[in-house]
């Protein structure tokens, strides 16, 4: 499958087959790395890493992934360039596109990464925006496939803020790959009707089911319980009201027991605010696979870079 030159902005832009190809490639790269085998698929490629928001996993995954394959990543924080301030996004994109072979962006407005992709002339990858976080979903899917040996037919429940970038992206990824998806959130934090209808279309095509609920009993039969922070970056001023609203939706032992399955795993994109969206005992339990997810960020991000920027004869 040839994804050379493609942007990676949201999983809406990728077919089920293309997503599965990226997961297969990530698994191959992961197996190789465990054997001490790295490559040169990105040899001579210079990669710009634009960060408006701070990061641990995304930044490190792009840096290590690029270096493993012979690339040269350059970190550019919000104080290093004039993105959208002294210089327009379009002009910045055209400058960086002349100097770099690929551009990663992690920031606030999704329109910024779309504008970078429009004008850069090189592959642009979304490391996170307020609306979508597609590289995280690839890591989540890979982790689930490792634990269950499959994706299709699994029951996945996301608990918490049902209209943030993680809920949006998980809903797209799961319904495209045949995973039964439930958003469990208070009604005021349910996802947009427009996105729900889009994902219902994906679900119909893949054979998955999509359920939006505010009833805690919706976790029954879940193979995966997933949560995220109650107030995303940029929403810290809403933390108090979110805590009051989402306290009943905390992932704790009682909620995990409600699934009725001993095999249910707990997932979180990190960083976690333990004692709020998840209790310490669940986070540290043998059901928790959060650090496998974190590691898989690197393998899946490496796969995205290799597939879209790597040498075409070596994929």
Q: Does 270 show up as a binding residue in the annotation?
A: yes
**Do the annotations mark residue 286 as ligand-binding?**
no
Question: Is 250 one of the annotated binding-site residues?
Answer: no
Set 6, 106, 110, 268: catalytic member: 106
41, 136, 223, 242: which one is catalytic?
136
* Phi and psi at residue 115, to the nearest 5°: -70, -40
Could you confirm whether 247 is annotated as catalytic? no
264 is in an annotated binding site: no
Is 136 tagged catalytic? yes
- Is 199 annotated as ligand-binding? no
State yes or no: 60 annotated in a binding site. no
First to last CA, the chain: 9
Catalytic residue among 59, 110, 250, 269: 269
Q: Is 73 annotated as a binding residue?
A: no
- 59, 145, 228, 242: which one is catalytic? 228
Q: Are strands 155-159 and 224-227 parallel, antiparallel or unpaired?
A: parallel
Phi, psi (rounded to 5 degrees) for 60: -65, -35
The verdict on whether residue 133 carries a ligand-binding annotation is yes
Classify each residue of 243-253 as buried b or exposed e, where b means 16 or more C-beta atoms within 10 Å of its C-beta.
Answer: eebbeebbbee
Query: Cα torsion for 37, 5, 59, 235, to the nearest 10°?
Result: -150
Q: Where are the alpha helices (DSSP H) in the chain?
A: 16-34, 57-68, 89-99, 110-120, 134-148, 165-176, 193-206, 239-246, 253-257, 280-283, 290-309
Residue 268 annotated as lining a ligand binding site: no
CB atoms within 10 A of CB 292: 16
133 catalytically annotated = yes
Of 133, 190, 242, 299, the active-site residue reads 133
Establish whether 16 is an annotated binding residue: no
Residue 228 catalytic?
A: yes
Binding-site positions for L-ornithine read 165, 228, 232-233
Residues at the annotated binding site for carbamoyl phosphate? 55-58, 82, 106, 133-136, 269-270, 297
Annotated binding site: 55-58, 82, 106, 133-136, 165, 228, 232-233, 269-270, 297
Query: Active-site positions?
Result: 106, 133, 136, 228, 269, 297
């Amino acid at each position: 499958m040839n994804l050379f030159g493609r942007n990676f902005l949201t999983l809406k832009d990728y077919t089920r087959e293309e997503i599965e190809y990226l997961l297969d490639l990530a698994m191959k790269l992961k197996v190789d790395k465990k054997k001490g085998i790295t490559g040169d698929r990105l040899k001579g490629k210079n990669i710009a890493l634009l960060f408006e928001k701070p990061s641990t996993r995304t930044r490190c995954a792009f840096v290590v992934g690029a270096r493993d394959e012979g690339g040269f990543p350059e970190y550019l924080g919000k104080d290093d360039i004039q993105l959208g301030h002294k210089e327009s996004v379009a002009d910045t994109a055209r400058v960086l596109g002349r100097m770099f072979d690929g551009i990663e962006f992690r920031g606030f407005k999704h329109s910024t990464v779309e504008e970078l992709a429009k004008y850069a002339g090189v592959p642009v990858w979304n490391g996170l925006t307020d609306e979508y976080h597609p590289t995280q979903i690839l890591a989540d899917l890979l982790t689930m496939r490792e634990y269950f040996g499959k994706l299709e037919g699994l029951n996945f429940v996301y608990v918490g803020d049902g209209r943030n970038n993680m809920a949006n992206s998980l809903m797209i990824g799961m319904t495209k790959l045949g995973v039964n998806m439930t958003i469990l959130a208070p009604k005021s934090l349910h996802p947009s009707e427009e996105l729900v209808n889009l994902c219902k279309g994906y679900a119909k095509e893949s054979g998955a089911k999509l359920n939006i609920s505010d009833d805690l009993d919706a976790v029954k039969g879940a193979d995966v319980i997933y949560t995220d922070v109650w107030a995303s970056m940029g929403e810290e001023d809403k933390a108090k009201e979110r805590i009051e609203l989402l306290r009943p939706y905390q992932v704790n032992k009682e909620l995990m027991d409600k699934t009725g399955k001993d095999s249910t795993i707990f997932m979180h994109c990190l960083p976690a605010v333990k004692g709020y969206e998840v209790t310490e005992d669940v986070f540290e339990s043998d059901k928790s696979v959060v650090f496998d997810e974190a590691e898989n960020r690197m393998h899946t991000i490496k796969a995205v870079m290799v597939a879209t920027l790597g040498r075409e004869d070596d994929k």
